[in-house]
Structure 1
Amino acid sequence: MEDWQILTITGVAILAIVVLIIRFKVNPVLALVLGAAFLGLATGLGANTTTETIMQGFADIMFEVGLLIGWGVLMGALLNEMGAIRRLVDKLMHVFGPKGIPYALGLTIGTALQSIFLDVLLVMSAPLARRIAPRLGKYGTAKIATAMAISLECGIVLMVPGVATVALAGLLSVPLGEMLIFGLLVIIPTIVTSIFIMNFFITRGLWKIDKDQQPFEEAEEPSDGNGAQGSLAQTPRDQTTPNDDGGSGHVRVAAPAKTGVETSGREPGLFVMFAPMLLSLVLIGTGAILKMVNFSSPVMDFLSTPVISLLIGLVGTGIVARMTIGTPRVEKAIARGFSESGQILLLTGAGGSLAAIVATSGMGDILGQYFTASTVAPLVVVWAIAAVLHIAVGSVSISAITAAGILAPVAPAMGLNPVLIALAAGAGSLFLVHATSNTFWLLQSLLGQTTRGTLKSCSLGVSVASVMALGFTLVLSLFL
């Protein structure tokens, strides 16, 4: 088959996936598998090879990241149940004060809290952020909303153990420790510079208080049982919003539940709550560093293996949780974590199936012929593909995984480090978060913004972060 035919068929397959999700409201998992099947048959792979490749692609990425995603989501569910987020945000405000809190909160959410499912993290932290906003001055709502939007979205695709980050690492066979280290090198400056740029324009006329935010009405909620107050802002008790997993349905968003720790004993310190998770990340990072310097130790090789490191973090978090909130609540949190991880795993696996078909069809060899020895061209292309897909579909996970899968076969031919493709795909998938995203509507309702205001804080803010992340990835490519 001619190259132009394969390119055309691949483009039609990607377009068909987008149409199925947006126009016909087909679940993204089904749409990805249907698109992969069409691509395989249309490019002449045959029925047997197509089905075997789809299953093998699913199996390969589950082999790489299945348990990792599961451990991360379960760990986040336990931290959420313990009320760790509420205490952490209050601590950050106390330590960094009004001027530093947007940066401190952004970096914390974007890095340390990525084991927590995004919607859960947002629903738990938004009321606290709303309470903090008036202390930041005239543009407090705009600054805190922008910081949260940027950090929440960046963390999903750039930071381990963010679910899309782990999926990208598995799809491109990037060691998770390497993804963690280079992801940190990109996400930290991305969050800081993006918040700085947005705050500069917010205070210089971009934000119109009377049009971009709703009146702040204090309505103090009862104490959570440990002296901590609930949100000071009235938020809708129930709202229907587009689903972030591709806009293929609707989800019912309940108001934040109380997260106070109901114990009769002594409550552990904040560091103790997060210590197991931090230990797992340290082990993963240490393993990557030791590998870079060609040092090998059987004990460290075992402990720094991502699946073991995150398992250690999960077990440790579970022990702390049992001591803090009791076994019944731990079991409920675990059950919710399993429920949340199911769709994530299926979506990740379906993305792996599509990527496998793309590679088998010869798409990678064709694209490799059109790129020079420069690493810039393929990175910009993967960023652009992810950006276009995200604008159309509205899911950072789908757009990042699909874009990375298309360009993954180029990496070996170009001598391009696959971690750069993962970071570029993640950066592109952040571009123009808008009305098809569940996060967009949650940020609007929970932080007291109008739709116009959310377009500025979320859509524009995260788009700035998308461009900055690409820039820092290109800089990183000079050294890899």
Structure 2
Amino acid sequence: MVVMHTVLAIVLVIGLIIWLRVDPVISLVLGSLYLGLASGVGFADTLGAITGGFGEIMGKVGLLIGFGVVIGSLLHATGAFSRMVQALVAAVGARRLPYAMAGAMSTLFPSIYVDVQVVLGAPVARSAAPLLGRNGLPLLAGAIGTGIFSGYVFVVPGLAVILVAGQMNVSLGAWLVGGLCIGLATALLTTFVFSLLLRTNYWKPETDEDASEAMVETEAQDAQAPPAGGPGLLLAAAPIVVPLLMIAFGAFAKLAGYSSELIGFIGNANLALFVGLLGAYLLARRYIGVERTGEVLTDGFKTSGEILLITGVGGSLGAIITASGMGVELGKLFSHDAGGPALLSIVLAWFVAAVLHVAIGSVSVAALTAASIIGPVLSQIAISPVVIGFAIASGALFAVQVNSNFFWMFKGLMGLSTKGALKTLTLVTSIASIISLLLVMLASLFG
């Protein structure tokens, strides 16, 4: 019965979000209440699990999310991200731009919101597209789309990475190198595969593009663009690069067998992102002034508050699933015997996250929910928790489409019709999900 009630709880959450358009926070709490009461957890223990799960996940990822969101807000306001994009275009030229954009979006920009990334990338795509010929716009649109989401789910400090790693008790240091390699390889390989498809008659500019709508959207964004004269390239990148180096230092020191309080302190992800926040704050005060910096901080804290709330109730759902006994049933599903392929667990984790994403339309909510479902039975799975986390990230990447707010923003800013957005963003994220699944399977052979 607990399996049936868990399925019904997830269906309830999905149905509330999609069909009744209920806020995900309310939907997740209602699903948690239903599962706890229907599965016999009890009135008091259900509430205890909801509050306890909320507090537990906040203790793991609360500061990381808050710091990461505010860093992104400050760097966007100072023009730091715009400076990086401009330097990229100047360095590689138009012909290599699709791969450069995919690589940069997947490795350098995950600290900033996906919607801000597409605001920055869309003007580059539209201005450079004619230099790449008839299929320049779809190629750049696909590269940007796959780059954004490959970084979002695989590369520290992407939001989906923090959610999955926190829910599954995986350190960001353990995730860092593998996630970076998978995220970058996924973005580049997907861009290559998509470029091969575009050599056919796949793209129809007359039906797949809609330039007039994009110009309206872009002009609206340009009106809010940060002032000129921002920080130089090295300064602009420092609040992103320094935290990554600190986390990497701690991870590599551990792998090399070196351990001390100082190394643990320097490599701690919370401290690393705080150092990045401090750097971004000082840059903002220098280049946009104290008053404007205060406004940006307020907006960033407001945004992070919304994310933290939904993250916390996602943790509540995970706690209820554990309390209901669903972990025992999932343990049977994910268990292995001598003749059973270990890769089956990777495929199952991928499938759970992919189905949730297609149904819900939110990469982060799908990733967190899948991690909440699978996390309680990690000890019964004969594969590294990091690899299972990668599989969840890969599944959550699958098919960004019409039930996603980002889809419509992407469509307008890129100058695409609905059909064109489906043929770029939805297709490349589906391809990226499958390619990354294969890469995760490969990674599992090494640990």
2-structure distance, mates of 1:216, 1:58: 45
1-structure distance, mates of 2:395, 2:270: 28
The alignment yields a C-alpha RMSD, in angstroms, of: 1.7
Tell me what 1:444 maps to. 411
Tell me what 1:296 maps to. 259
How far off is 1:237 after superposition? 7.0
How far off is 1:258 after superposition? 4.0
Tell me what 1:95 maps to. 91
Contact 1:124 1:256 in 2 (8 A): no
2:177 partner SS: helix
| Range moving further from structure 2, 140-149 or 423-432 | 423-432
Contact 1:106 1:191 in 2 (8 A): yes
Q: After superposition, give the CA deviation of every residue in 1:246-278 in whole Å (9 maximum; x if it has no partner).
A: xxxxxxxx5344434356xxx531111111220
Contact 2:123 2:218 in 1 (8 A): no
Q: State how many pairs are aligned.
A: 443
2-structure distance, mates of 1:427, 1:459: 14
1:305 pairs with 2:286: no
1:282 pairs with 2:245: yes
Instruction: Give the structure-2-normalised TM-score.
Output: 0.95
| Range moving further from structure 2, 459-468 or 146-155 | 146-155
1-structure distance, mates of 2:353, 2:416: 28
Q: After superposition, give the CA deviation of every residue in 1:369-401 in whole Å (9 maximum; x if it has no partner).
A: 233254311221121111111111111111111
Contact 1:444 1:450 in 2 (8 A): yes
Tell me what 1:207 maps to. 203
Distance change >3 Å, CA 431–CA 262, structure 1 → 2: closer
How far off is 1:363 after superposition? 1.5
Q: Percent identity?
A: 39
| Range moving further from structure 2, 116-125 or 196-205 | 116-125
AA of the residue aligned to 1:196: F
AA of the residue aligned to 1:191: A
Unaligned runs of 5+ in 2: none
Tell me what 1:250 maps to. none
1-structure distance, mates of 2:437, 2:237: 30
1:408 partner SS: helix
2-structure distance, mates of 1:271, 1:458: 31
- Specify which of 169, 176, 180 is matched with residue 176 of structure 2: 180
AA of the residue aligned to 2:70: L
Distance change >3 Å, CA 460–CA 262, structure 1 → 2: closer
Distance change >3 Å, CA 255–CA 215, structure 1 → 2: closer
2-structure distance, mates of 1:285, 1:450: 42
Tell me what 1:469 maps to. 436
2-structure distance, mates of 1:135, 1:275: 32
- Specify which of 120, 123, 142 is matched with residue 127 of structure 1: 123
- Specify which of 398, 401, 404 is matched with residue 371 of structure 2: 404
Tell me what 1:434 maps to. 401
Contact 1:378 1:407 in 2 (8 A): no
1-structure distance, mates of 2:187, 2:24: 29
Q: After superposition, give the CA deviation of every residue in 1:82-114 in whole Å (9 maximum; x if it has no partner).
A: 112222222111111122111111111112111
Tell me what 1:13 maps to. 9
AA of the residue aligned to 2:225: T
How far off is 1:216 after superposition? 7.4
| Range moving further from structure 2, 117-126 or 351-360 | 117-126
Tell me what 1:163 maps to. 159
1:337 pairs with 2:300: yes
- Spell out the pairing of 1:55-454 with structure 2 (5 A cutoff): 55-215=51-211, 234-236=215-217, 255-261=221-227, 267-370=230-333, 371-373=335-337, 374-454=341-421
2-structure distance, mates of 1:275, 1:192: 24
Tell me what 2:446 maps to. 479
Unaligned runs of 5+ in 1: 218-232, 239-253
Tell me what 2:37 maps to. 41
Instruction: Give the structure-1-normalised TM-score.
Output: 0.89
| Range moving further from structure 2, 116-125 or 330-339 | 116-125
2-structure distance, mates of 1:207, 1:424: 31
Q: After superposition, give the CA deviation of every residue in 1:405-431 in whole Å (9 maximum; x if it has no partner).
A: 111122211233211222111111121
AA of the residue aligned to 1:235: V
2:380 partner SS: helix
AA of the residue aligned to 2:285: R
Contact 1:375 1:477 in 2 (8 A): no
| Range moving further from structure 2, 11-20 or 355-364 | 355-364
How far off is 1:329 after superposition? 1.7
